Structure 1
Amino acid sequence: MKKMKAKSILGFLLLSLCNPLSSSADEGMWTLYNLPEQTLEVMQSYGFQLNRDQLYSGPNALKNAVVNFSGYCSGVVVSPDGLVFTNHHCGFEAIRSHSTVDHDYMLNGFYAKTYADELPNENMFVSFMKNQEDVTNRVESALKTIKSSDEKEQVIDSLQNLMTDSVKRIDSTLHVNIDAFYEGNKWYATTYQDFTDLRLVFTVPKSMGKFGGETDNWMWPRQTCDFSVFRIYCDPKTGGPAAYSKDNVPYHPKRWAQVSLDGYDDGSYAMTIGYPGSTSRYLSSYGIQVRRDDENAPRAQVRGVKQEVMLRHMRADEAVRIKYDSKFAQSSNYWKNSIGMNKCIDSIGLINQKRLFEQKIQAWQDTTKADIHKVDFARLASLYSRLGKLEYVWTNFSETFTRRSNIEFNVRAMKLGNGMEVKGPENKPKKQYHEFDDNSNEWDAATDEEMLAVLLKNYRDHVDKEWLPAFYQTIDKQYGGNYQAFARDLYTKSLIMKPGAKIYFNSKDYKKDAGVNYGLDLQDVLANLQEQSSALEDSIADQEKYLCAAKIRMEQDQPHYSDANFTMRLSYGKVGGFDLGGKPSGYYTTAESIVEKMKKGDNGVIDYQAEPIMHQLLSVKDFGRYADKKSGQLQLCFLTNNDITGGNSGSPMFNGKGQLIGLAFDGNWDSLSSDINFDRHLARCIGVDIRYVVYMMDKWGHADRLIREIGCAPEATK
C-alpha cells in the first residue's frame, strides 16, 4: 500500500467537481460513480448515447463489462460465456509461460479449439468493480490523532479489513480497497469481485501481436495487432469465483460488450473505460525535476546497459529467448518511456511552466483568507533538493539489485536478506529455513551472470562510494575487481541457487554463504536509504497535498479529476489525428502500410519480420465485411484523443452506443510527458481496430466458435 499522507484540508472537492467544464474538456480520467452532470452532458454532445444508469449504476451498466486484468492491465468481457479481450502484451507472460521450444505459442500463436484445450494460468485474475463510495469523513476521523505514516497505513488497512468483513457477510466473494484521491485530500472505497481461474484461449503469433517491437513502441503510425483472448471460469454450483479446478465452467456474466464491425469516422465519439495506473499531474515543478533527473535518466541508463546483454543472449539461443522475452519487453517499455518523457519535459519547457503556475498559486495564497494549509514553496524546494540525491541512488539501486533487475539471484538474495518466505516450524526457530522452488525454466545462468556482472560495475560507476554494499570490498580484495568471476561464484557456490537446498537461518554456517552475505549487505544499504528518505517523503507528501488542494480551491470554477491510481476511470473524446510541425498524422493505418513494413522485415529489420501467411492475409484485395465502408480498406490501428496512461493497456474503446470498436494499447511519442502534463493538442491514444482483431481470429485462426460466441458469425468462404 502506498505511503499515507497527512490530514486533509476543508472538504471543498465535491463543490469544485460540480462546476462547468473548462475548455480542455477532453482531458481527464474520471471516476464513474460521481461523474459530474456537466461532464456527462459534454459526452452526450460529442455523440454518447447512454444515460448514467446505462453507464454505471444500472444492473446492465457498461462498467460491468470492464475488468482489471491481473493487477496491471485492463480488459473487457465480450461474450455471454466469459470471453475477455485484452492486449497481447498484457497476456504475454501467460503466453510465454506455456511456451516451450517444441510448442512456442509466442512464436506461432495459439487457439484452443475446445473448452478442454483452454490453458489455465497461475497468479492471474480478473477483477470486477461492483461499486465505489466516498469514505473521506470516515478515514479522516480514524486518522485524526495519527502522525506517523506507518501508523496511518495500519489504520487504513484496519478500516479496509473492517469494510471487507462487512461486505463478505453479504457476499463472501467480495472485498474492499480504500484508495487516496487528490493527493490524499479525498478517500474512496471500492468493492471488487475477483475471478482467479483465467484461461488462455487465443493469441496471434508474436510477429503480429508485437509487430513493430521496440522500433515502433510509443510511435505512430502503428500496425500492431495487440490483442489476446482469455476466458473466465467459475464454480459450477454458484456461478461465482473459485480457485482453478478441472470441474469449473465458463462464467456467465450479466453484462458483456457488443463487438461492432461498423467502424468509426474522423470526429466520431470515442471512450475508454479501464484502470490507468499512475499519473502525477498535480506534481510540483520540483517533483518534476526529480522525476526527470533522478528517476527517468538513471532508469534509462541502467536498463539500456542490461538490455544489451539480455538481447544478445536471446538472439543466440531460442530457449533463452523464450525465458527472457517477457522480461525484455517489460524492461524496454519504460526504458523508452523514460527517454521520451524527458525529451517532452524539455521540449515544452514543462518545469518552467509549472514554476510560473506556482507563482500564481503563491500570489493567490498571499491574498486569500481561507482557512487552509498553505504551500511553503521554499521548504518544498529544499526538501526535493535533498530527496533528489537519495532518489538518484534509489533508482540505480532498485534497477540494479531488486526484482526490477530481472536477475534471479538478486530476487532470491533480497528475499533472504529481509527474511521473507521462512519455512519450518514456528515453535522451533533453529529448524526454520528457506528453500527456493526450482524455477530454472524462467532464467538462464549465463545470461543472469553476465547481466549481474555488468550491472555491478555500472552501479559502482554511477553512485558515491558511501552507497556501495560491503561486498564490493570482496570484489576488490578477493577477485581483483573481476565482476564476472564474482558473479559466477555466486551462481555456482551459493546455496541460494542450488535446487532443493535448505538454508537454515540459525545455523553457524549461515553467514558463511556468499549469497547470504550479498543479500544482507543489500538490506543494509536499503535500510540506510529508507531511513534518510522517509522523513523527507512524508514532509514532501504534506506539501504536495496542500499544493493540490490550493490549485483546486483557486480554480473553483473548473472541475478537477484525481490522478490515476489504478481504479476504474472513464476518458472521453473523439477519433482523430494530430498535427506536428504542419504534418498531419492521419488517424488510422491500413493493411497496405503493414505490408510495406513487412517488406523491410524481409530485408533484415527484425521488428517488421512476419510469416509468409501474414503477408498473404494482409495483401488480399477484398477484405469483405472487415473493410471500412468508406475507405474500402482493412483499417488496423486508429487514434483518439482519449486520456490514458500505463494500466490502460487493454482498455475497451467504445463508440457512442457503448459498442466495442477497439482496444487501447499505447500512447504517442510526442506526448510522453502526459503522465505529468496533458497536452490536448498532441496527446493521443493508439488503439487496435476491433475489425482487425476479428479478421485475424477469422482468417488466420479459423476460430469459428469464438467468432460466433462474440456475436460475429464467421464470414462465409468465397
Structure 2
Amino acid sequence: MKKLFLLLVTFQFSLLTSHADEGMWTLYNLPNAVYEQMKGYGYQLPYEKLYQADDAIMKAVVNFSGYCSGVVVSPDGLVFTNHHCGFEAIRSHSTVEHDYMLNGFYAKTYADELPNKDMFVSFMVEQKDITDQLMAQGFDKMSNDRRSEFLDSIENAMSKDVKAQDSTLRLEIKPFYEGNRYFATTYRDFTDLRLVFAIPKSMGKFGGETDNWMWPRQTCDFSVFRIYADPKTNGPAAYSKDNVPYHPKHWARVSDEGYQDGTFSMTMGYPGSTNRYLSSFGIKERYEENAIRAQIRGIKQEVMKRHMDASEAVRIKYDSKYAQSSNYWKNSLGMNKCIDSIGLIQQKELFEAKIKEWMDSTGLLMTQLNFDQMKRLYAKRLATSKAYMYFAETFSRTDELSKRALKAHNGISPKGKGKRQYITFDDNSETWDYDTDRETLGTLLKNYREKVTDAKYLPEFYQTIDKSFGGDCQKYADYLYSKSKVLKKGARLYPNKKSFMKDPAIMFGLDLTELYMNLRSEFKEVVDSIDLQERYLCAAKLRMEEDLPHYSDANFTMRLSYGQVKEYKLGGVSSGYQTKAPSIVKKMKMGESFEDYKVEPEMIDLLESAGDMPLCFLTTNDITGGNSGSPMFDGKNRLIGLAFDGNWDSLSSDLFFDSQLARCIGVDIRYVLFMMDKWGHADRLIDEIKK
C-alpha cells in the first residue's frame, strides 16, 4: 500500500492538453493549467478572487442542507437555490387552506419569513490535503476496519483543535481519488434558515417529468431563503425569534448583462457523487442496479400518482416524495440508454487494456492491480448486489410502516427504564397517507416476490403470506396496517414484553433486518477487495497520465467547473444555447390537454408580456446531483444563472464525461428577477439584492 501512495505523491499538474470542459476541481489546489484554460475561455480575475482573497467568490457559495447548493446574493443573507431544492420546505408549510406549492409564497416582511426544521447552509472555510500526515502514522499498513477507526480518531482530534480556535466551526475528513488521498475540510454551519420566496409549482417545476433532464427547458427553477444569525455575534445560532438576518462580509453580485454564445461560465457548488474512475466491471453492476431502480420506482410512482390525483391533501403530502422518486427513476433510464448508445462499457474495456499494456511495459503496480481478480470479485458480488437493490428500493424509505418496522430493530432508543422501557414514534401524519402507504407496500411486496426468485433473498414473512393469505401480498399489507401498533398515534411498544414480538409489523421488521444483515455479510466478503482493486485502478490511471491534471470524483465537497455558454449537436441538429419567453407560452397553451404544461392563466399573460426575455441556457460546465442550485458566474464572478439539470443525451456523465454532448442547464438570473418582480412584486428583495 505504501508504494501506491508514493506513486500518487508524484502528481504533476503541469500540462492541459485537452480542451474538454470536463472537471469538478477542488479550489485550494486548482492546477495552474486549469486556471490558464479558464482565462483562455474568458475568466478575467486573478486566482485569489476564486479562493484566497477576502472577497473570494467561494465565500458566497453554500452547501444547501446537505443535498443541494446555493449562493448568498445580498448583504442581509438572502440565498438563492433551486425550487426543487426548497421543495420539501415549501411543501412542509403548505396546507389545503394555504397551499404554497400551488400558489407560491412571498414573505413581505422579516416577520413573515418561515423557519424550517432540520435545514441549514454550510460555508467552506478551509481545505487541505492530510495524506502525508496519515501516512506518517502508518495509515498504509492498516486494515480497512482499522483505517476507519483511525480516521474517526484523527477527525475528532482535528475537530477539537478547530473548535478550540472557533466554536462555530466543524471539520470533516473525506477520501479523494478513490481513497488514494484524504482532505480535511472546515465548515461553518448556519441552522436558522427561513423561507422567503417561492413561485408556484407550475413554474418552479414547469414541464414536470416530461421535460426533466431534457432540452429545451423553460423551468423557472429557483427559491429564496434567508440565513439568520445570533444578534450579538452575527454567527451561527439555533432558531430563535430573536435572531436577525445574517450579514456576510461578501456576497455574489447579480449581473443583468446576460451572456452570448461562447461567454465564459463557471459553476461552484457541491456535486454529490460521480464514478468516472470506475472499472468496466463496476459499470456493468451499475447498469443492473439502474434497471432495478427504474422498474421499482415506476410501479411505486403509479400508486402515488393515482392517490395524489384523487385528493389535494394527499398531493400536498406526496409532492416532494414523488418528485424525489421520479427524478432518479428517469435518471436511471437515461443513464442506461447513454451507456448503451456510446458503448461506454466497451470504451472502458479498451482503456483498461491500455493500462494493462502500460503496466506490462513499466512493471508498475503489477503486484497490486489484477483485472482477472477484479472480474471474479464483481461476478461473485452480482447476485448480492441485485438482491440488495431490490431490497433497498422496496423497503428503504418507501412506506411509513416498513420504515418504522426497521427502525424498531435498528437505531431507535427506547424511553423509560428497566422493564418499562418502550419505543414510540413521533407523529408525522402530515407527511404520509394511510391508504396510499398501504397500497404502496402491498404493490411492492408483490413485485419483490415476482422479481427476486432466489429463496435465500426472500424474507421469512413470505411464508406467512403464502400460508395465511393465499399468496396475496395486498391482503398481508392490509393485515399489517390494521393490526400493528407501529402506526397508531402515541402507541407504546415494550421490547421487554412478550407482546412486542407478537405485533405483526415488529415481526415483519425483524425478518427484514435478518435479510439485511445477511446481505451485508455477503457484501463484506468481497467489498474490501473490490474497493482495493478500484483504488489501484485509479492510481494506475493517474500514474500513467501523470502529465495531465486530474480531478477527484465528486463527494459533496465544494468544486469548481469551468466552461462556456454553448449549444450541442445531435444527429446534425443544433440544440440552440438558450430558450426565450415565446417558447414557454407555446407550451403553456397546451396545458389544457397536457398536465405538465398547465399553468395559471396569469402566467400566460405575464410571459406573453415578456417579449424575447431569455429563460434557460446551456453551458459546457460539468454537473451532477448536488450541483442543483449552484451559482453560474461569468468571467467577472457575477451571477448569471442557477444550475438545475443536465441533459438527457449525456446522462452517463456520472460515469463518463462526453465533451460533445454533456451540458449543464441553468435558469437565467434575469428570468428569476423578472418573476420576483412582475409576479411576486417583491420590491424589498429586489432592492436588497441590488444594494
Which one of the candidate residues 271, 274, 279 is aligned to 2:274?
Answer: 279
Q: Is 2:50 aligned against 1:52? A: no
8 Å Cα contact 2:13/2:546 also seen in 1: no
Q: Match for 2:78: what amino acid?
A: L
> Residue deviations 1:383-428, cap 9 Å, x none?
111111111001100000111x2x111110110122x222324xx4
What's 1:682 paired with? 661
Q: Which residue of 1 aligns with 2:406?
A: 414
Confirm or deny that 1:254 pairs with 2:249.
Answer: yes
Corresponding residue of 2:59: 64
Gaps of 5+ in 1: 1-5, 623-632, 713-718
2:396 to 399, 402, 427: 402
Partner amino acid for 1:423? P
The answer for the alignment partner of 2:647 in structure 1 is 668
1:486 paired to 2:476: yes
> 1:305-344 CA deviation, whole Å, 9 max, x = no partner?
1000010100010000000000000000000000000000
What residue is the counterpart of 1:628 in the other structure? none
Distance 2:12 2:99 in 1: 51
Alignment of 1:648-667 (within 5 A): 648-667=627-646
1:343 aligns with 337
Three-state SS of the structure 2 residue aligned to 1:504 is coil
Counterpart amino acid of residue 335 in structure 1: W
**Alpha-carbon contact 2:359-2:366 (below 8 Å) kept:** no
Q: Which SS does the other structure have where 1:545 is aligned?
A: helix
- Contact in 2 for aligned 1:344/1:672 (Cα 8 Å): yes
Q: Cα RMSD (Å) of the superposition?
A: 1.3
Structure 2 Cα separation of the partners of residues 700 and 170 of structure 1 = 46
Most deviating of 102-111 and 143-152? 143-152
Letter in 1 for 2:188: Q
Instruction: Work out whether 1:292 is the aligned partner of 2:287.
Output: yes
- Superposed CA offset, 1:508-558 (max 9, x none): 211111011111100000000000111311100000000000011011121
Aligned with 1:643 (options 622, 626, 648): 622
Question: Per-residue displacement from partner, 1:541-595 (whole Å, max 9, x unpaired)?
Answer: 0000000000110111211110000000000000010000000000000100000
Q: 1:412 to 1:621 in 2, by over 3 A?
A: closer
The answer to whether 1:384 aligns with 2:374 is no
Instruction: State the AA in 1 paired with 2:405.
Output: A
Aligned length: 690
Of the three residues 491, 498, 515, the one matched with 1:501 is: 491
1:709 and 2:688 matched: yes
CA contact (8 A) 2:581 2:610 kept: no
Shift of 1:647: 0.3
Tell me, yes or no, if the aligned pair for 2:107 and 2:196 is still in contact at 8 Å.
Answer: yes
| Matched-pair contact (CA < 8 Å) for 1:9–1:373 | no
Say whether 1:161 aligns with 2:156.
yes
Shift in Å, 1:246 = 0.2
User: 1: CA distance between counterparts of 2:8 and 2:681?
Assistant: 52
Is 1:319 aligned to residue 298 of structure 2?
Answer: no
2:439 alignment counterpart: 450
Corresponding residue for residue 415 of structure 2: 424
Instruction: Please say if residues 139 and 147 of structure 2, whose CA atoms lie closer than 8 Å, have aligned partners that are also in contact.
Output: no
Which residue in the other structure is 1:204 paired with? 199
* Residue 567 to residue 297, structure 1, CA distance change in 2 (3 Å): same
Deviation at 1:17, TM superposition (A): 4.4
Amino acid at match of 2:623: I
Once the two structures are aligned, what percentage of the paired residues are identical?
63
Alignment of 1:17-36 (within 5 A): 17-36=12-31
Deviates more, 1:482-491 or 1:314-323: 482-491
Q: Which moved more, 1:125-134 or 1:480-489?
A: 480-489
Contact 1:143 1:152 survives alignment (8 Å): no
What corresponds to 1:266 in structure 2? 261
Query: Paired residue for 1:532?
Result: 522
Deviation, 1:430, is 2.1
Verify: 1:352 aligned to 2:352, yes or no: no
Q: Distance in 2 between matches of 1:111 and 1:11?
A: 56
Q: Does structure 1 conserve the Cα–Cα contact (< 8 Å) formed by 2:640 and 2:668?
A: yes
1:551 corresponds in structure 2 to 541
Q: 1:679, CA displacement in angstroms?
A: 0.0
Q: Secondary structure at the match of 1:176?
A: strand
Query: What does residue 698 of structure 1 align with?
Result: 677
- Could you tell me which residue of structure 2 aligns to residue 111 of structure 1? 106
Q: CA deviation at 1:368?
A: 1.1
Residue in structure 2 matched with residue 523 of structure 1 by the alignment: 513
Contact 1:22/1:559 (8 A) holds in 2: no
Larger mean CA deviation between 441-450 and 490-499 belongs to 490-499
SS in 2 for 1:557: coil
Give 1:141 shift: 4.0
Shift in CA distance, 517/151, structure 1 to aligned 2, threshold 3 Å? farther
* Change in CA separation of 1:329 and 1:621 when aligned onto 2, cut-off 3 Å: closer
* Runs (4+) off by over 4 Å: 145-148
Please give the alpha-carbon distance, in whole angstroms, between the structure 2 residues aligned to 1:145 and 1:76. Answer: 39
In structure 2, the residue corresponding to 1:74 is in which secondary structure? strand
Structure 1 SS opposite 2:498: coil
For 1:91, the equivalent position in structure 2 comes to 86
Residues 1:309 and 2:288 aligned together? no
Partner Cα separation in structure 1 for residue 177 and residue 586 of structure 2:
46
- Give, in whole Å, the separation in 2 of the partners of 1:381 and 1:371: 17
- TM-score, length of structure 1 as denominator length: 0.95
Matched residue, 1:585? 575
| Partners of 2:620 and 2:662 within 8 A in 1 | yes
- The answer for the alignment partner of 1:605 in structure 2 is 594
How far has the Cα of 1:479 moved from its partner? 1.2
What amino acid is aligned across from residue 545 of structure 1 in structure 2?
A: R
The 3-state SS of whatever aligns with 1:94 is helix
What are the superposed Cα offsets for residues 15-74 of structure 1, whole Å, 9 maximum, x if unpaired? 434120121441100000000111111101111112121110111110000000000000
CA shift for structure 1 position 495: 1.2
Determine if contact 1:196/1:243 at 8 Å carries over to the other structure.
yes
Deviations 1:90-131 (A, max 9, x none): 000000000000000000000000000000000000000001
- What residue in structure 2 maps to residue 514 of structure 1? 504
Contact 2:14 2:32 in 1 (8 A): no
Change (3 A) 1:549 1:493: same
* Amino acid in structure 2 at the alignment position of 1:699: K
Aligned to 1:393: 387
Query: Any idea what SS the aligned residue of 2:154 has?
Result: helix
Which is further off, 462-471 or 449-458? Answer: 462-471
Q: Compute the displacement of 1:147 (Å).
A: 4.5
Deviation for aligned residue 1:178:
0.3
**Distance between the aligned counterparts of 1:679 and 1:8, measured in 2?**
33
**Structure 1 counterpart SS, 2:585:** helix
What is the 5 A alignment of 1:70-149?
A: 70-142=65-137, 144=139, 147-149=142-144
Q: Distance in 1 between matches of 2:610 and 2:135?
A: 64
Say if 1:153 and 1:250 are closer, same or farther in 2 by CA, change over 3 A.
Answer: same
SS at match of 1:57: coil
Partner Cα separation in structure 2 for residue 280 and residue 615 of structure 1: 42
